[in-house]
Structure 1
Amino acid sequence: MRKQDLWFCILLLFFLGGLRAEPSPELAVLDQARTRQGDVRVETLIEVWEAGELLRSSAFEVYVGTGRQSLALARSGREAGQKVLMLDDQFWLFLPTSQRPIRITPMQKMLGEASIGDIASLRWQEDYRIINRQSEPETLWLSLEAARAGLSYQRVELQVRTGDYAPLSARFYLTSGKLAKTAAFELDEVGGELTVSRMTLTDEVMGDEVTRIHYQSVTEVDIPERWFSPAFLARNPVD
């Protein structure tokens, strides 16, 4: 390798490493408001509504670990007994009637407009980087680019409040550039801390149907490492 090529590679690696390491206070607020830090259990209720009528609902326990590891357990509804495991960009679905895990994509629908990725991937700082900021009088629009090709949405336009960066809404785009869905965040304060209590997903194609994801509680827990093993989950229940 020529000397100038070697220096170019070193500088490129340094630049890319700096992109990954750059802190994002806006996304940190969103992550803190949804899942806090460390290993947590997020009690989640998903509802599908149409024209003001509740069509379906299902409760999930989502165990979120560090390093892009999560496990979603369906506790009620038609999905009861199902398990979804995320390890980095790999996803598996475990059905209660089978010991063979099924490889799936994060875009696969779980319930209503809530995809596998919407349920299992809950930390934005690990998934996206900010490539542009546009200020408005009381809000800030952030253009987000996916950090990896395997994410559900390759581009997100996120609207946050000016000042405290509280998330307000988001637009999710596919690799093709097509708008996949929009989201509206409902905020509360719990113990003096900002909390996202609900995310409402809509898709223009679905008409009056909306999907509401309620984040009912976030609890710090110790997650057994074996829970993130496809071989273990295929043969053992998780209580």
Structure 2
Amino acid sequence: MSKQYALLVLLLSFTAGLHAHPALEVMDKMRLGTSDREVKVMTEIRLYKKGELESQRDYEVYVGSNRRSLVLFRSQAEAGQKMLMLDDQYWLFMPSSRRPLRITPMQKLLGEASSGDLSSLRWKDDYTVISEKQEGQKWVLELEAARSGVTYARVELLVDSDSLHPQQADFYLQSGRLAREAEFMLEKRQGRLVISGMKLQDRIQTNEQTLILYHSSEPVDIPERWFNPAFLSRETL
């Protein structure tokens, strides 16, 4: 994609306001393999302290339509736990209780990784691009949360001006405070460039780093009952 063509696409999309911004479409497809189908993403979170692996967790993330997702906790330390996202609402299901716990998208899971980081993977549904500027070979996009239940109120996203591939992001809270910084990890799989993970860094805990790794993604048909809190409260998946 030439710089001139990329610029034209960006400006037309931004001014029309009818479709998701192309950079967000590119991000979703690079992470999920598709921007529309239901997908299962095998995910791992790693916490490093002073360069050494401190802790690790495995998850199956089922990304549905209409801002719905289900996270199954697969590590022994969290066995039997489930997390459900329905639009702006989040629930955590514990195997020891029939009553789910209401949580927020900022609920910490491990290190800097939060419940929203893990479950909300379609940025085209979550954010609106409100401004953009070019800095050398990069585009800096300012993203605003499209609804109240989105993890971050604002995101500054850095993408390559030719390919629109994401490179870095700064995540801000409603208060305006910078919550964390992220670097996108890109990798070629089966001849296609994908987002293989994110490196999350807290400016205060500089000796810690959290990696969210996307090991694989595949289209699936998610049973409708999996998005029913009553079903999840009594069933083991």
Same fold (TM over 0.5): yes
Could you list the runs of 5+ residues in structure 1 that have no partner in the other structure? 1-17
Task: Map 1:216-227 to 2 at 5 A.
Answer: 216-227=215-226
Larger C-alpha radius of gyration, 1 or 2?
1
- Kindly state the Cα deviation for residue 19 of structure 1 after the two structures are TM-superposed: 7.7
Q: Which residue of 1 aligns with 2:84?
A: 85
Q: Which residue of 2 aligns with 1:135?
A: 134
The amino acid of 1:22's aligned partner reads: H
Q: Which residue of 2 aligns with 1:193?
A: 192
CA RMSD of aligned residues (A): 1.3
CA contact (8 A) 2:129 2:141 kept: yes
Q: Which residue of 2 aligns with 1:120?
A: 119
CA distance in 2, matches of 1:24, 1:229: 31
SS at structure 2 position matched to 1:72: strand
Task: Map 1:168-179 to 2 at 5 A.
Answer: 168-179=167-178
CA distance in 2, matches of 1:155, 1:23: 16
- Kindly state the Cα deviation for residue 20 of structure 1 after the two structures are TM-superposed: 6.5
Instruction: Give the count of matched residue pairs.
Output: 221
Q: Deviations over 1:131-157 (max 9, x none)?
A: 111102211110001101221111000
CA distance in 2, matches of 1:112, 1:155: 21
CA distance in 2, matches of 1:79, 1:46: 13
Task: Map 1:1-239 to 2 at 5 A.
Answer: 21-37=18-34, 38-238=37-237
Counterparts in 2 of 1:19 and 1:206: CA distance versus 1, 3 Å? farther
How does the TM-score come out when normalised to structure 2?
A: 0.90
CA contact (8 A) 1:59 1:77 kept: no
- Kindly state the Cα deviation for residue 77 of structure 1 after the two structures are TM-superposed: 4.4
CA contact (8 A) 1:57 1:77 kept: no
Q: Deviations over 1:51-74 (max 9, x none)?
A: 111111000000001110100011
- Kindly state the Cα deviation for residue 79 of structure 1 after the two structures are TM-superposed: 2.1
Percent sequence identity is 51
The amino acid of 2:109's aligned partner reads: M
CA distance in 1, matches of 2:102, 2:193: 36
SS at structure 2 position matched to 1:21: coil
SS at structure 1 position matched to 2:231: helix
- Kindly state the Cα deviation for residue 26 of structure 1 after the two structures are TM-superposed: 0.5
Single out whichever of 82-91 and 29-38 deviates more from structure 2. Answer: 29-38
The amino acid of 1:53's aligned partner reads: E
CA distance in 2, matches of 1:121, 1:145: 15
The amino acid of 1:189's aligned partner reads: K
CA contact (8 A) 1:48 1:55 kept: yes
SS at structure 2 position matched to 1:214: strand
SS at structure 2 position matched to 1:103: strand
Q: Which residue of 2 aligns with 1:13?
A: none
SS at structure 1 position matched to 2:72: strand
CA distance in 1, matches of 2:108, 2:17: 29
The amino acid of 1:208's aligned partner reads: N
How does the TM-score come out when normalised to structure 1?
A: 0.89
CA distance in 2, matches of 1:133, 1:77: 44
CA distance in 1, matches of 2:19, 2:190: 29
